[in-house]
A = this chain, B = another copy of it.
Amino acid sequence: MNPLSSPLVTDLYELAMLQAYFEQGMTGTAVFELFVRKLPPGRNFLVAAGLEQALEFVAGLRFGADELDWVARSGLFQPQFVSRLERLRFTGDVHAMPEGTVFFPDEPVLRVTAPLPEAQLLETRLLNLVHFQTVVASKAARSRLAAPGKRLIDFGLRRAHGAEAGLLAARASYLAGFDGTSTVAAAPLFGIPVFGTMAHSFVQSHESEIAAFRHFAAVFPDNAVLLIDTYDTLEGARKAVEVGKSARVKGVRLDSGELGVLAPEVRRILDAGGLSHAIIFASGNLDEYRVAELLGAGAPIDSFGIGTSLVTAADHPYLDAVYKLQEYAGRARRKRSAGKATWPGRKQVYRHYRADGCFARDVVSAEGDAQEGEPLLEQVMHAGEPLPRPKLAAARERALAQYARLPAPLRALEAAPVYPVEISAALRALANEVDRATGA
């Protein structure tokens, strides 16, 4: 079984509900929507990401022999359920915001319309895929906005939550405006530019630091970025200058110490030693706040490697993302649990713009309720078949274009006044109607 595509990568309750739905013939059309309930403190917006992998998962959904065998042997299910699962494919429609779209709480980013068992079964992995990339893209956007014109590289694979997380974080951060990643497999899998320097072990394994630098510069004559902090950063910079007399040194990397103090001193050493073309690459416990602080203090840093804080979204490693039933068998539905109530029915999000082109406000309405503004959800799958969609590079362009149209306070790292997301009168009326029908 392939853990990345197996339909058993789901919660047990999905299968339990499916058995009940099949048994009762509850295969009417269901509409589920995926949305985020609220922003984490300090975040001003979210960036939609992960649709590509979500659609691959949906289009490829099927139970293989291994999986059916487990279901049969588990003792939890009835034999006829196994044969229903064997035939199960996703035959429905999906609407979604294109990847790279800036969005806000209460706005559906994805909507599934399908027979109830099919739509239900998607819940866990669909959330898992869209949630994580959206978490990382929304985090990466902040570094992108904090460091205009600087090169930003994802360095996080080693502390990402698994290999898939590392790969998807490379993708999501690139989508959100990063320039590349250190994760090699992201190049063949997603076409993302890859970057790398050297580790401290490289320096340590040589007889001396300068021997390590000379060796690396000889092997990579076009690409040698020398890690200069293994023993003493300023001494390391002087050795880089020495090496630069007889070989090309593309740049130096600082991975520890007080970067705001060291970077200017290193810059002076490089410039005085004839390496004014050499870049300074900084890494080591960086996040968007530290990057903004360094640049605000004028640190002459050209490139940043951002790792753990990015790929784990360390300050807020999750969003309150959910996938909720909004309609079944032609009737709108809603949940009214304390603090977790939802707006019923199939919805569309309409974006309104100011005269200067910036976002003014969004309106969430029932799908049929014609509204002004730009509709953000579009159809991405028809009867189980994915429709043509933008490539990763286009999603990245979309994200960058969206940042440019964010009202200025939302672009800041600090918490801004909440962006207006209005619930239309039609949607409020529908909620009241649903409550009356279910006896609220």
Contact = CB atoms under 8 A, between A and B. Distances in A.
A300 interface: no
Closest 8 CB pairs of A and B: A12-B196, A13-B196, A162-B164, A201-B325, A161-B161, A161-B165, A256-B337, A8-B185
Contacts of A333: 204-205
A351 interface: no
Given A9-B184, A17-B199, 9 more contacts: A6-B163, A12-B182, A13-B199, A20-B202, A128-B157, A159-B319, A164-B165, A204-B335, A257-B339
Interface in A1-16: 1, 3-4, 6, 8-16
A438 interface: yes
Interface string A416-440: 0000000000000000000000111
Given A161-B160, A166-B128, A188-B70, A216 B20 contact: yes
A166 B13 CA distance: 16
A24 to B, nearest CB: 6
Contacts of A162: 128-129, 132, 161-162, 164-165, 168
A167 interface: yes
A231 B128 contact: no
Interface in A192-244: 194-202, 204-206, 208, 215-216, 219-220, 223, 229-233
Interface magnitude class on chain A: 35 or more
Contact of A200 (B15, B23, B158, B337): B337
A324 interface: yes
A440 B116 CA distance: 69
B324 A318 contact: no
Contacts of A350: none
A128 B159 contact: yes
Given A9-B166, A185-B8, A337-B230, A23 B116 contact: no
A205 B337 contact: no
A21 B23 CA distance: 63
A19 interface: yes
A20 B219 contact: yes
Query: How many protomers of this protein does the assembly include?
Result: 2
Contact of A184 (B8, B21, B166, B312): B8
Interface in A129-164: 129, 131-132, 135, 155, 157-164
A9 B200 contact: no
A334 B204 contact: yes
Given A187-B70, A200-B335, A13 B163 contact: no
A188 B13 contact: no
A128 B12 contact: no
A24 B185 CA distance: 26
A247 interface: no
A124 interface: yes
Given A8-B185, A162-B161, A195-B12, A308 B314 contact: no
B189 A3 contact: yes
A336 B3 CA distance: 41
A98 B309 CA distance: 29
A179 to B, nearest CB: 14
Contacts of A185: 1, 3, 6, 8-10
Contacts of A129: 162
Contacts of A107: none
Given A15-B184, A196-B16, A204-B325, A219 B23 contact: yes
